[in-house]
Amino acid sequence: MFASNVELQLPFPLPVSRKVSRLLDRRLSLFYDWGKVLDEHAFEGIPVSTRKALEGAFDGTLADFGVSVSIWKITAEFPLYLNRPEVVGGKDNWDFRWTIGFSRLF
């Protein structure tokens, strides 16, 4: 798979002191991700019952964009648009979605 990510950091909307801002390490960003599956065996490891629903999903470029909020070491991402929502079990390109992760641990 070949992939890339672009992020545009925005001013955080809640005004707090510089000391609190450094402590929280808060960021607000817009992001755009895209990728292309180059493997001939893209369905390897996917259950046979699911393969039919995903047929053709890996033929083109997979892309999404949305908003990311990071406070301290926790990041919440809200992809607002997916060009192939069937890959994650969705039907609508535009929908409310979210993921939570750690931006770094050490």
Q: Note the pLDDT tens digit of each residue in 5-36.
A: 999 988 766 666 667 666 677 788 999 999 98
How many structural domains compose the chain? 1
Res. 104 pLDDT band, cuts 50 70 90: low
Q: How far apart are CA 19 and CA 25, in angstroms?
A: 10
Q: How far apart are CA 56 and CA 79, in angstroms?
A: 22
- Residue 82 has a CB neighbour count (10 Å cut-off) of 21
Bridge partners (DSSP) listed for residue 46 = none
Q: How many CA atoms lie within 13 A of 55 on its CB side?
A: 5
The answer to whether residue 103 scores a pLDDT higher than 80 is no
The pLDDT tens digits of the residues spanning 34-58 come to 998 877 777 787 888 877 777 777 7
What residue numbers bound the domain in which 65 lies? 2-102
Q: How far apart are CA 103 and CA 106, in angstroms?
A: 10
Q: What is the mean pLDDT of residues 58-82?
A: 89
Res. 86 pLDDT band, cuts 50 70 90: confident
The answer to whether residue 105 scores a pLDDT higher than 70 is no
22 or 2, which is more confident: 2
Q: Check if the beta carbon of residue 26 is closer than 8 Å to that of residue 70.
A: yes
For residue 94, give the DSSP letter. B
